[in-house]
Amino acid sequence: MNRLDELLLLWQDQTLTPEQRAELKQLLAEPAARARVAEDFFLTGVVLESLRTQRAARAFLTHADERNDPERAVRLRRSGGPRWYRPALAVAFLLALLGALLWFQRRLALPPVVPVSADVYAQFEQVHGDTFVVNQQQKSPAQAGQVLVAGQGIATEGSDSEAVLRMQDAVRLKLGGDTTVRTEDDEPGAGGPRVVLEQGELLVEVNRSVKRKQMTVQTPLGVAVTQTEETALHISDAARVAVVRGEVQFHHRETGRSIRLRGGQYLAVTADGELYAAELFAANGRVWVTYPKVGLETTSLGYRVTFAPTGQRLAAVSRSTEGGLRIGPAEGGDSLRELPGERCLAFAPDGQVLATGQQSQVLLHDLAGGEPRILASPDRRSRVLCLAFAPDGRSLAVGKGRSKEPGEVAMWDLTTDTLRTVFRGHAAEVTALAFSPDGKYLASGGHDRTVVLWDVAAGQERSRLLTVPSQVVWSLAFAPDGRTLAIATGPEDFRLRQPGQVHLWEMATEKVRARLHGHTQAVTGLAFSADGQTLITGSADTTVRFWDLNSNREYGMLKGHRAAPGFEALTVALAPDGSYLATASLDRTVKVWKTTRVENEARSRVTVTALLERTRPLW
Amino acid sequence: MTDRITRLSSRFMVERHALLGFIYGMIHNLAAAEDLLQEVWLRLAQAAVRGEPITDPAKWCRGVARNLILHYWREQRTGKVLADSELLDLVAQALDENPDPWADRRQALQECIDQLPEASRRLLELKYEQGLSFAVMAQQLRRSIDSLKMALSRLRRALLECAERRLRLAESNP
């Protein structure tokens, strides 16, 4: 170690004497020493950033739960203590286990399927809701402190149920709702237990090596094997396999392919089965508004959100009339206004008028003040389900419909507030609308699993697309250059665990040029970045995903909304300058996230930065 | 205007590591350093909105950070932090004089950090994330202060060399 390095270390340690300080200054008179110092500070910055990223990734899984429902938050603390009493603890623990085992056997009068000498492999630390020990075909309620022996499984029933177990002293399992887990011995020679997740959501936390052996978790998709001593991985339908810390090797069951994932990464799979790693964005969003609790059915978008064209204002609307419409600064605060409205909303291109639905009518709120203008349709039976302003601001397209009846798109002339024409051609409700940027075309989609492209000037249908696989169209968005129409689809009932998709439809060829696979449930929201290189999607699988449209692959995921009981719809909006992302979810919250565009030579990407994660009330 | 803000924020995101290292190096408190970094970011965004001419954003940010550090020192007054404005200026000068091919080096360094063995990672965590002194670390890890200093110094050197190797490898295998 040279003298400069030594002094820099002492400085880092805050133990520089005045003499050493003077010596350091003297050394820094030399350009070479200053170059070395610059390098040293840069290195420190990268190390800090790396540590901070890992810390954020560690918090990733628990943040959402904790923020939304602190009482239910389950903290997984690392076990351990001073070394001298560990043997004593181990003996006490084993005795306690033995005692508990005997006690439970007597108290619950369990049939002697499992001999007392069978291997104890886990103990319940916490149990919430309906959690059961599964013993072959028998189920018995689980309690905190209860031990499990080989051959027994665990099942949580109901979306609010969860359980935390300690396996040996170094592995913890946290089971989410509706989850079934069992263990089995690994192959001879490999050693160690193999945890088998049959369905649901599981967090596995390994705090040090289990007798220096790897931990194997079998999932419906394949097998994950921990590679590092301190490892945490999260397996769920939504994110498949996400590594919170440490490293994991994942082997895909069907394709036989494998991939190594690091902390902060999750497994992504292309349509043809190629595995790749994408990034978990571990940022926090600010809750912009929380809607009051009302019953919402599971076959409609609960809440929608949109930015004003200037990006300064944000507006959100609830599916229910009781929720109403809220508008206010994107950065939040107490100055949100409440206006009447429901289901849908759209800002006029000049940002001065906000259109929303109210049963069969459209309300046009002038944001300067005054009573709203009303566009009253002669057809009072159909509800207003979606809205889109023409880019010139002179026309408003209104998607309407009623269950099990044909849907329609009404075109209103806003210079006279009269109904100009009605486009008919949908066999069911129209749920999504988008104007091409030049205003020539209007795309409409709906429950009839069809997208229709209308020539606005001619008042005619130009082309039509039936979604394959046949799914409801939940959202539509044109790329800023107008060449591509993104179509978000998914099953009609959000509770169905069928993957949703995004179809990228090329206007020139009128063909789907790509399908974006990744979401595990319906895709319900779409937003293009201004440069057209990134597409952001929200889904009923509770995630927001970021897609690179050069490669048509997902590169990032955000998971900051709580899973509603078994379903969730997420709509997304990106501020015109790309600086904020807003998400609205069936968990009744609208959140705002800080985003950043990261550019290099090859591409430009929107990322959600954790830069504002821990600081002042900007939001 | 929007483009300008976006351009500046992109630059900031790419160059923030050196700035974070600079701030942390001066105040030795990660949470406070992140707050100051945040403040610099906000001021940069505000300056961009006001249309202030900023030709060298990295240098501009360091200038703002320097003032914030001086303010932080004044506020602390605990004597626990080594406050020396002369050293502060010398380091700022060092960083001004040595602009770096940030993105490539950061990426390479990040990969090297990701591959560190657990013990080395732990050392970095204790020192930088938890901000422990060598004396406290020595107690916790049951090692001598000198061996810890040597280990950390070697680790930092090894990381820089690893990054260099990776960059050279990337250059020879584009």
Determine the pLDDT at residue A63.
37
Q: Is the pLDDT score of B8 beyond 90?
A: no
Percent with pLDDT over 70 in chain B? 84
Q: Is the pLDDT of residue A99 over 60?
A: no
Q: Residue A130 is inside which H or E element, if any?
A: strand A120-135
Note the pLDDT of residue A613.
34
Which of A339-353, A563-577, A582-596, B124-138 is modeled with the greatest confidence? A339-353
* Per-residue model confidence (pLDDT) at position B66: 92
A339 touches chain B (CB under 8 A): no
pLDDT of residue A595: 82
Model confidence over B80-123: pLDDT tens digits? 567 788 888 888 888 888 876 556 677 788 778 878 888 888 89
Nearest chain B Cα distance for residue A231, angstroms: 11
Weakest mean pLDDT among A111-115, A390-394, B48-52: A111-115
Which residue did the predictor score with more confidence, A7 or A496? A7
For residue B22, the chain A residues in CB contact (below 8 A) are 41, 45
Query: What integer pLDDT is reported at residue A430 of this predicted model?
Result: 95
Cα A384 from Cα A400, distance rounded (Å): 5
Q: What is the pLDDT of residue A482?
A: 96
Mean pLDDT of chain B: 81
Beta strands in A282-417 (DSSP E): 286-290, 303-307, 313-318, 325-329, 337-339, 342-347, 353-358, 361-366, 373-376, 383-389, 395-401, 407-413
With a cut of 50, say whether residue A310 has pLDDT above it: yes
- The verdict on a CB contact (< 8 Å) between A12 and B28 is yes
Q: H helices within A122-176, ranges in order?
A: none
pLDDT at A474: 94
| DSSP state letters, A441-495 | EEEEEETTSEEEEEETTTTEEEEEEE-SS--EEEEEEE-TTSSEEEEEEE-SSTT
How much of chain A exceeds pLDDT 70, in percent?
Answer: 79
DSSP-assigned states of every residue in B90-107? HHHHHHHH----HHHHHH
The whole-angstrom distance between B141's CA and the closest CA on chain A is 12
CB contact under 8 A, A51 and B114: no
Does residue A35 have a pLDDT over 80? yes
- CB A248 within 8 Å of CB A224: yes
The average pLDDT across A20-44 equals 88
pLDDT of residue A565: 45
Is B9–A51 a contact, with Cβ atoms under 8 angstroms apart? no
Under DSSP, is residue A14 helix (H, G, I), strand (E, B) or coil? coil
Nearest chain A Cα distance for residue B111, angstroms = 10
Choose, out of B34, B62, B105, B107, the residue to mutate when testing the contact with A (most A CBs < 10 Å): B34
More confident residue, A259 or A190: A259
Quote the pLDDT of residue A76: 28
Highest mean pLDDT among A193-202, A439-448, B144-153: A439-448
Q: How far is B91 from chain A (nearest CA, A)?
A: 7
**Is 60 exceeded by the pLDDT of residue A61?**
no
Please list, in sequence order, all residues whose beta carbon lies within 8 angstroms of the beta carbon of residue A545, skipping any fewer than 6 positions away.
A518, A519, A536, A537, A539, A554, A556, A557, A558
Distance CA B13, CA A607 (A): 11
Note whether B94 contacts A577, CB cutoff 8 Å: no
CA of B79 vs chain A CAs: smallest distance (Å) = 10
**pLDDT at residue number B129:** 80
Contacts of A49 in chain B (CB under 8 A): 16-17, 20, 110
HSE-CB at A45 with a 13 A cutoff on CA atoms is: 25
| Record: contact B94-A28, CB cut-off 8 A | yes
- Asked whether the predicted pLDDT for residue A562 surpasses 50, the reply is yes
Residue identified by tokens 């999504």 is: A432
- On the question of a cis peptide bond just before residue A115, with omega within 30 degrees of 0, the verdict is no
pLDDT for A68 equals 39
**Mean pLDDT: which of A183-192, B70-79, B156-165 is highest?**
B156-165
A596: which chain B residues are within 8 Å (Cβ-Cβ)? Answer: 9-10, 13
A368 touching chain B per CB within 8 A: no
In the predicted model, what is the mean pLDDT of residues A10-34?
A: 87
Q: What is the pLDDT of residue A389?
A: 97
Q: How confident is the model at residue B58 (pLDDT cuts 50, 70, 90)?
A: confident
- Count CA atoms within 13 Å of residue A341 on its CB side: 33
Name the closest residue on chain A to residue B149, using Cα atoms. A9
Residue A488: HSE in the Cβ half-sphere, 13 Å Cα cutoff: 33
Output the pLDDT for position A508.
94
Question: Comparing A135 with A322, which gets the higher pLDDT?
Answer: A135
Is residue A20 scored above 50 in pLDDT? yes
Average pLDDT over residues A411-419: 95
pLDDT category, A110, cuts 50, 70, 90?
Answer: very low
Please, which residues 585-604 of chain A have a Cβ atom closer than 8 Å to chain B? 596-600
Q: With bands split at pLDDT 50, 70 and 90, how would you rate the model's confidence at A168?
A: low
In which band, very low, low, confident or very high, does the pLDDT at A103 lie, cut at 50, 70 and 90?
very low
Closest-CA residue of chain B to A50: B110
Q: What is the mean pLDDT of residues A106-111?
A: 38
Q: Is the Cα dihedral B5, A312, A608, A270 positive or negative?
A: negative
pLDDT average, residue stretch A245-262? 91
Residue B79 has a pLDDT of 58
pLDDT band at A386 (very low <50, low <70, confident <90, very high): very high
| Mean pLDDT within A510-518 | 92
**Tokens standing for B123?**
């050392």
Q: Residue A390 above 90 pLDDT? A: yes
Across all residues in chain A, what is the average pLDDT? 80
**Which of A8, A44, A531, A603 is the best mutation test for B, with the most CBs of B within 10 A?**
A44
Question: Do A14 and B28 lie within an 8 Å CB cutoff?
Answer: yes
Assess whether pLDDT exceeds 80 at residue A105: no
Cross-chain CB nearest to B98 (options A35, A46, A311): A35
| Min distance B142 CA to chain A CA atoms (Å) | 12
Summarize the confidence of residues A187-216 as an average pLDDT: 72
Of A51, A576, A609, the CB nearest to B13: A609
Mind listing the pLDDT tens digit for each residue in A448-487?
A: 999 999 999 999 999 998 888 889 999 999 999 999 999 9
Distance CA A459, CA A436 (A): 15
Inter-chain contacts counted by CB atoms under 8 A, chains A and B: 169
pLDDT score of A62: 41
Token pair of A328 as six digits: 């206010």
Q: Nearest-CA neighbor of A400 among A358, A350, A372, A435? A: A358
Check pLDDT > 60 for residue A297.
no
- A603 pLDDT band, cuts 50/70/90, is low
Claim: this prediction has a pTM higher than 0.80: no
Instruction: Name the pLDDT band for A207 (thresholds 50, 70, 90).
Output: confident
Average pLDDT over residues A391-414: 93
